[in-house]
Amino acid sequence: MGAILLLITWLLFAVYAVLILYYARAWKQAAREDGGWPMADGGKETGNEEQGMMNREQGMTYERVSSRQPSTVNHQPTDGGWPMADGRRSFQPSTFLSVLIPARNEAANIRKCLDSLLQQDYPAHLFEIIVINDHSTDDTAMLVQQYKRNNLRLLNLADYLESPVQAYKKKALETGIAQSKGTLIVTTDADCVVPPHWLRHIAAFYEEQQPAFIAMPVRYRSGNSPLAIFQSLDFMTLQGITAAAVHTGFHSMCNGANLAYTRAAFDAVEGFKDVDHIASGDDMLLMHKIANRFPGKIRYLLSREVIVETDPMPTLRDFMRQRIRWASKAGFYKDRLIFSVLLLVYLFNLMLLVLPVAAWVFNLQSSIFNIQYSILPCTLLLLIAKTAVELVFLLPVARFFGQQRLCWFFPPAQPFHIVYTVIAGWLGKFGTYQWKGREVK
């Protein structure tokens, strides 16, 4: 029995390791082709990523090298990321953007979000901000109304609903899009802060590449608590996989805190039709629909200039509720590759949890060539191998996000990550959760 369990786990690890190393190679390819690093001194890496991020935020530009071939747009060196079209200053945008922000009880965050949007270096006459108030019971709506800007509007979702719905965020986005004027829809969350060149980079990327859907990076503002560090590591890993998978077209992944898609694509797939009964999935389920309708028109914008920041969940309960909500949509994915990847990850983590428990409870032993050995040391070896393979992928991703210091905490976080993956995956499929004061099955 012990030998069979161990063999299954090692086989799962072999496939898992190949997958992670594929992601690592794809990430490097994306960074090389899209210029995902800030370069200084004529194209040499600064080596100090966190300082580089600080300098970028202060408006300093860096020289960089891009492996892209010259296109119809004249690329000038910018600071770390997809090459900005014709330099930040000389780029003349022509695309009207509609920024949608669904908000429910976000009085503590909405000001920071709106302030960052109103400080964009994008022409005010070429973008609008639409906040869709989703039945907030706090001062969210009042705080939005205090802003007297011609390109900022507040919609109350209650005014557009005749009866309760299952997916309120999808309905909020659908309502906002119906009232919007933009060629390109850009979405973020009310608890997020966007960088000052966010819209300019999105517009330049869209005008050159003409994609139907653009996924972009999100980063947690990492605190010093163990829970915040754990979440930052987990989320950064997911973001790296997202960039690698979308860049190669291996499978689709994204995060609703930083997305853009054309109004035409949204209309062509009839919005959230056929997935509007699912509470979660306003990002990935829509991405899958657009990817099927517009093959080859999904892009990932790998640039530090478009990294959106948000805070990790404040408590363990909130964190688990969030992850259970994310896991709840997995069974509805039409992209079988992403479903297969999630199943592989879940089964491997489940076996890493089952193996030592079974060995301890039943005192399982195994043997090779009549040599008896304990299951527990083999499990520890698997855990070390898993950590090493994942670090090969995570280290360059952490450099991009300026969060290399967090990697020191990655090995001790492994046991907790395995447990949380198994619990969240199970409850996402068979349990219920609360989100924003609503009970969701």
* pLDDT beyond 80 at 417: yes
The closest alpha carbon to 183, from 150, 206, 162, 156, belongs to 206
Query: Which of 104-113, 336-345, 354-363 has maximum average pLDDT?
Result: 104-113
The H-assigned helical ranges of 66-192 are: 87-90, 110-118, 140-145, 168-178
At 218, list the tokens: 């999100």
Whole-number average pLDDT of the chain: 84
Interval 381-394 mean pLDDT: 96
Listed residue (391, 390, 57, 68) closest to 208, CA to CA:
68
Beta-carbon count within 10 A of 19 CB: 19
* pLDDT computed for residue 430 by the predictor: 74
> What would the mean pLDDT of 397-416 be, rounded to a whole number?
96
Reference 87, options 197, 186, 183; nearest CA is 197
Report residue 99 CA to chain centroid gap. Answer: 18
At residue 378, the pLDDT reads 81
Q: Which residue has the higher pLDDT, 440 or 57?
A: 440
DSSP 224-260: SSHHHHHHHHHHHHHHHHHHHHHHHTSS----TTSEE
Q: How confident is the model at residue 276 (pLDDT cuts 50, 70, 90)?
A: confident
- What DSSP string describes 269-303? TTTTTTTTTSSS-TTHHHHHHHHHHSTT-EEE--B
**Whole-structure pTM value:** 0.85
User: What is the structure's pLDDT at 332?
Assistant: 74
- pLDDT at res. 373: 60
Question: Residue 157, Cβ neighbours under 10 Å: how many?
Answer: 22
Query: Which of 92, 129, 310 has its CA nearest to residue 217?
Result: 310
Rounded Cα distance between 337 and 8, Å, is 21
pLDDT computed for residue 441 by the predictor: 60
Rounded distance between C-alpha atoms, residue 55 and residue 68, angstroms:
25
Tokens 């907030």 -> residue: 136
Strands 192-193 and 308-310: antiparallel
**Nearest residue to 331 (alpha-carbon basis) of 430, 245, 239:** 430
**Percent of the chain residues topping a pLDDT of 90:** 64
Q: Say which residue, 319 or 373, is predicted with more confidence.
A: 319
What are the domain boundaries of the chain? 2-24+338-440, 93-314
Query: Which amino acid makes up residue 31?
Result: A
Q: How confident is the model at residue 100 (pLDDT cuts 50, 70, 90)?
A: very high
Q: What beta strand segments (E) does 18-126 contain?
A: 39-40, 44-45, 97-103
The CA distance from 421 to 330, in Å, is 13
pLDDT given for residue 59 in this prediction: 36
Per the CATH hierarchy, to which homologous superfamily does domain 93-314 belong?
Spore Coat Polysaccharide Biosynthesis Protein SpsA; Chain A (3.90.550.10)
Whose CA is closest to 101, among 159, 207, 180, 161?
180
> What's the gap between Cα 306 and its chain centre?
12
> Residue 297 and residue 264: Cα distance in Å, rounded?
13
Residue 260 pLDDT more than 60?
yes
User: What pLDDT score does 69 carry?
Assistant: 33
Q: What is the mean pLDDT of residues 101-125?
A: 96
Q: How far is CA 278 from CA 32, 300, 338, 422, 432, in A?
A: 37, 25, 18, 22, 13
Is 193 strand, coil or helix? strand
Which 8-state DSSP code applies to residue 13? H
